[in-house]
Chain A
Amino acid sequence: GAVVSQHPSWVICKSGTSVKIECRSLDFQATTMFWYRQFPKQSLMLMATSNEGSKATYEQGVEKDKFLINHASLTLSTLTVTSAHPEDSSFYICSALMEWSSYNSPLHFGNGTRLTVT
């Protein structure tokens, strides 16, 4: 149980275009989803926290107009990278928190999306 699915697993796009990444909790409801970004040989950096039915909370330095997050249902959150540039090329990973979860319940992660902007 507790499976988080991310789609696509990889995507190549041209500079200036937008890319949407989906994160789904397959067998549980997630009131909160987190979006991380990971550059090569670096650790995961939290980008934003997405709560179902409300606006996302972005970490300092993350442009909310560039990284649009929508959490329209308890099982789906999307991250749209708008007007992508080569410096946005990275590994994007989502994680989901179960509705009833506490700190005594692990976060579950998707398998990530490798974005390459040419």
Chain B
Amino acid sequence: DAKTTQPPSMDCAEGRAANLPCNHSTISGNEYVYWYRQIHSQGPQYIIHGLKNNETNEMASLIITEDRKSSTLILPHATLRDTAVYYCIVRGGSQGNLIFGKGTKLSVKP
């Protein structure tokens, strides 16, 4: 699976948009970009995924660059409950599993 690079930590003010970057320069053409988050002592929660088009759901938006080498997860109005570790994962392989990197620890501050 392609590897991803994320900043180890970010801060965001409550109510503002949180923009979390991810680099995946070695992504293959058929690999998807997935975002999960993990709140302390819980299992990972699925947020959003995409192949090449930008995606939006009730939780977030995913912006993927045209060359697919990077993406940005956008939480439009961050709340304190969005404080978590966010994982950007490129998914492929024969078993469909997810390989987790270190993620970005997002701290939303009042």
Task: For A97, give its contact among B36, B42, B44, B96 (CB under 8 Å).
Answer: B96
Query: B: which residues have CB within 8 A of A?
Result: 30-32, 34, 36, 38, 41-46, 49, 51, 87, 91-92, 95-103
Contact B41 A109 (CB under 8 A): no
Closest A residue to B47 by CB, please name it.
A106
Within 8 Å by CB of B46, from A43, A108, A110, lies: A108
Partner of B43, one of A49, A57, A97, A109: A109
Question: Can you name the residue of chain B whose Cβ is closest to the Cβ of A6?
Answer: B43
**B95 neighbours in A (Cβ, 8 Å):** 32, 34, 49, 57
Chain A contacts for B91, CB-based, 8 A: 103
Known: A43-B102, A93-B43, A109-B43. Contact between A101 and B96, CB under 8 A?
yes
Check if A104 is an interface residue, CB within 8 A of chain B: yes
User: B102's closest neighbor in chain A, by CB?
Assistant: A43
Q: A28-63 vs B: 1/0 string, CB under 8 Å?
A: 000010101000000111100100000001000000
Closest 3 A/B residue pairs (Cβ): A109-B43, A44-B100, A106-B46
Note all chain A residues with C-beta closer than 8 A to B36. Answer: 109
How far in angstroms is the closest Cβ of chain A from B37? 11
How far is it, in angstroms, between the C-alpha of A1 and the C-alpha of B97 when the chains are bound?
Answer: 20
Q: Is A43's CB under 8 angstroms from B103's CB?
A: yes
Please determine whether B32 and A104 come into contact, CB atoms closer than 8 angstroms: yes
A95 interfacial contact with B, CB 8 Å: yes
Minimum C-beta distance from B84 to chain A (A):
13
User: Given A103-B30, A103-B32, A103-B92, A109–B45 Cβ distance below 8 Å?
Assistant: yes
